[in-house]
Amino acid sequence: MNNLPTQIIDLAIQIQQIPAPTFAEGERGEFVRELFIKEKLKDVSVDSLGNVFARLPGKQKKTKALIVSAHLDTVFPATVNLQIKKEAKKIVAPGIGDNSLGVAALFGIICSLRERKITLQNDVWFVANVGEEGLGDLRGMRAVVERFGTHVLGYLVLEGLAFGHVYHRAIGVKRYRITAKTAGGHSWSDYGQPSAVHELVSLITKLTAIRLPREPRTTLNVGTIGGGTGVNVLASDAKCEVDLRSEDPKTLARLVHQVEELITHASRAGVKIMAEAIGERPAGGISEKHEFVQLAIKCSQEQVVDVTLTTGSTDANIPLSRNIPAVVMGITTGGGAHTTNEFIDIDPVMKGLESLVRFVERVGDGNW
């Protein structure tokens, strides 16, 4: 057991070195599939989307199973430099915490249970899923939940950087790609005619002027913008992508209505504004008094951790939106998520892994 943290970190680095942009997780998924086979797990398979499944059998037959998942994909394109920097107490590398360490922890749980010679009463399914980040729109987890239905004990979702946090509520998200189109022209001779860039920027200004409540927490973000062909050209085409979020589904619905109203009224003679919904993550949650949440808190506190109950937009959105118990737990602390300077702290890894193992052991044996 003393070498397990080092082994898991080494495995996380191996996983991190395999590019896995959303919609292109295949190579990383194959690596995980081969590891599942090497661990002699049962029913190893890959579905049509690229989700990888494996079953650790329990003693009892035809009982509900615990699903333990970690997403394969990263926010980084295949061209990003995946160089790793090892420092005294941390490792810096794109995607190392989100979510290479989470995927590696699937195997840390398996190894820990076997080293302790623990055979659980219930089956545990380990899943490395696709499509959690960005425009993946949780497509991998949607398929996972469809596969298992409601005949489960619940979901434990692993996020590498979430140690000390227990996510039990899911933030609703709606995303749009907004396109502005005009005839375009020359910046001098056609001056006065509409430019798609100008029209889109005008709309964005109105969107960002919407007053958002602090409680429930609600956000609007224009994450990407582009268009035009040259500095002296009236742009004929411009696009942006907008992310809307709220802790409260009704508040999100009102914000969606406001945004759609502004988009609808932005078109005029010579200007066409179109919006395409490109993502929707449903809200949901379970009470902090739910036994899944209380167990997650207890298992974390046993590792001398101050636990923070929180909300987020994760794979847990899907089961939570369907009233299926789910929590998100992590392996270590760190920072710089979604940047090339992302890092994990080495020291907490063993404690984080131990909290996960205890959670799986107690749920798998019905002792919770």
Confidence category of residue 2, pLDDT binned at 50, 70, 90: low
Mean pLDDT of 41-65: 95
Candidates 126, 157, 97; CA nearest to 348 is 97
What's the whole-number average pLDDT of the chain? 96
Task: Give the tens place of pLDDT for each residue, 67-123.
Answer: 999 999 999 999 999 999 999 899 999 999 999 999 999 999 999 999 999 999 999
Q: CATH number of the domain at 172-281, please?
A: 3.30.70.360
Mean pLDDT of 341-353: 97
Structure tokens at 62: 């035809």
Pinpoint the residues of the chain covered by CATH 3.30.70.360: 172-281
- pLDDT for position 287: 96
Mean pLDDT of 159-172: 96
Stated pTM of the model:
0.91
Confidence category of residue 214, pLDDT binned at 50, 70, 90: very high
The answer for 314, left when phi > 0, alpha when psi is -120 to 50, beta otherwise, is beta
Given a cut of 60, is residue 1 above it in pLDDT?
A: no
CA distance 134 to 75: 7
Candidates 249, 251, 243, 247; CA nearest to 278 is 243
Given a cut of 70, is residue 47 above it in pLDDT?
A: yes
- pLDDT for position 74: 98
Given a cut of 90, is residue 329 above it in pLDDT?
A: yes
Pinpoint the residues of the chain covered by CATH 3.40.630.10: 4-170+283-365
The CATH architecture annotation of domain 4-170+283-365 reads 3-Layer(aba) Sandwich (3.40)
Task: Give the tens place of pLDDT for each residue, 134-152.
Answer: 999 999 999 999 999 999 9
CA distance 220 to 212: 8
* Count of Cβ atoms closer than 10 Å to residue 2 Cβ: 6
Mean pLDDT of 216-230: 96
Percent of the chain at pLDDT exceeding 90: 94
Q: Do residues 361 and 156 touch, judged by C-beta distance below 8 A?
A: no
